[in-house]
Amino acid sequence: MKNLHPALKDAYERLYHKTPLGFYNCGRICDGLCCRGDSKGMWLYPHEKEFFDGKEGFDVCETEGNYGYPMLICSGECNREERPLACRIFPLFPIVYEDNGKNKIKIIYDPRAGMCPLARENRLLDPKFVKEVRMAARSLMRDPEILEYMKAVSEELTDILELKHLLGE
């Protein structure tokens, strides 16, 4: 995994063999809705762009969203070793919040993961997968740029969850 930032490398390695259901390719449940390779893509974390620039099967697209970081559009099939972090943790997100001056993590179903039957049905995920997402998030938080990104996305997702609650969803 050359050209991969050290914090990302640790997270990638932690999640390489982990899947939401542990023993089962969850893409079989929904026929791979999250891997369709359409123009929706996945948001890249800070430092991920360099890993995907010029890589066959992937297009890095500059966007006005994602706090200045690009989106990655794929062909819909990739080597697991080359998946971006957003795919590796899907359908979860590690919310970062402050408690008594310390950064804490809460692993949640990403409210943007509406196409995922696991998230829609609030299914129990493999605890080992959830633990590795948490450990990966801890590694990522050591990088100040990634930490600020995670905090910004956490605020956005918290706002989405609060709005859904107010709407009774």
Provide the β-strand partners of residue 105: 96
Give the pLDDT confidence score for residue 38 in this predicted structure: 59
> 76 or 162: whose pLDDT is higher?
162
Ranges of each domain in the chain? 6-12+28-164
Average pLDDT of every residue of the chain: 89
Residue 115: pLDDT above 70? yes
Lowest mean pLDDT among 24-28, 49-53, 64-68, 106-110: 24-28
Whole-model pTM?
A: 0.90
Give the pLDDT confidence score for residue 26 in this predicted structure: 77
Give the pLDDT confidence score for residue 118 in this predicted structure: 85
DSSP for 23-64, written as a single string:
SS-THHHHTSGGGS--TT-EEPPTT-HHHHTT-TTEEEE--S
